[in-house]
Amino acid sequence: MLRLDGGLVRATVTAVALALLTPFAGLALAGPVEDADAAYARGDYATALAFYRPLAESGAYSAQFVLAGMYETGRGVPQSDVEAARWYRRSAEQGFGFAQFNLAMMYSKGKGVVRDDAESAKWMRLAGEQGHVYAQTVLGGLYASGTGVPQDYVEAYKWYNLAASRSTTDANKQNHDNATQMRDLVAARMTPEQIAEAQRLSRDWKPH
């Protein structure tokens, strides 16, 4: 059963994490990067690491994201949440939405960093503002429960509504269903005027 409290936020975060288990989720890889991706896929992590680490160290945000994922899962490197968070941060600070989302997840769980709901919400919002549909679902939960942000049902409805409307592929159908169900739970606590305002904010929203 879904609840508008911290339990809902933790359940949402856990469900979203299952959709992004690989460090390559959402990345469009091409050229030599495809070779490194193929090496990773077949379990040749040494070859993948030899390609991605120099790029990450030189400042390539996508390579930093992949390297963070390798540290988080312990593939090709000793598992280290601290190193994972460090590399996610370097990528996130360059504006990469997937890294912002993963860094927010690290802060929400206290993995590799001190748990900090406000810091998690900050990075989650940055990812959501770019159009990351899973971040938008989590943001709905944060605003519904007041976790890391002031409780605000209008904002909660807006983010759930955006996540539901933008989760249009088979891969994120569950996210659509979750966001829709939670949006309707929030709506039951809102006035018609608040719902109308949230719907207006949803219509006017643009990724940035």
Kindly report each contact of residues 187-194 with a partner whose C-beta sits within 8 Å and lies 24 or more positions away, as own/partner.
Answer: 187/157, 189/4, 189/153, 190/153, 190/154, 190/157, 194/153, 194/154, 194/157
Residue 91 pLDDT class (50, 70, 90 cuts):
very high
Average pLDDT of the residues in 23-32:
49
Q: Which residue has the higher pLDDT, 145 or 41?
A: 145
pLDDT of residue 153: 98
60's CB contacts (< 8 A; 6+ apart) are none
- Mean pLDDT score of the chain: 87
Tell me the two tokens of residue 165.
């409307």
Q: Which residue has the higher pLDDT, 40 or 103?
A: 103
Tell me the two tokens of residue 100.
């912002």
- Residue 135 pLDDT > 60: yes
Average pLDDT of the residues in 31-50:
84
**Model pTM?**
0.84
Q: With left for phi above 0 and alpha for psi between -120 and 50, is residue 26 left, alpha or beta?
A: left
Residue 37 pLDDT class (50, 70, 90 cuts):
confident
For residue 112, which of 103, 121, 99, 124 has the smallest C-alpha distance? Answer: 103
143's CB contacts (< 8 A; 6+ apart) are 149, 151, 152, 153, 155, 156, 159
- Residue 64 pLDDT > 50: yes
pLDDT of residue 190: 98
Buried b (16+ CB within 10 A) or exposed e, 130-163: bebbbbbbbbbbbbbbbbbbeebbbbbbbbbbbb
Report the amino acid identity of residue 88.
Y
pLDDT of residue 31: 58
Number of neighbours of residue 18 by Cβ within 10 angstroms? 8
- Give me the sign of the Cα torsion angle 199, 165, 153, 206: negative
User: In sequence order, what DSSP letters do the residues of 62-73 get, joined into one string?
Assistant: HHHHHHHHHHHH
For residue 98, which of 12, 10, 27 has the smallest C-alpha distance? Answer: 27
- Residue 82 pLDDT > 90: yes
pLDDT of residue 32: 65
pLDDT of residue 33: 72
Percent of the chain with pLDDT over 90: 76
Question: Which domains are present in the chain?
Answer: 6-204 (1.25.40.10)
Q: Residues for the chain: how many in total?
A: 208
pLDDT of residue 57: 94
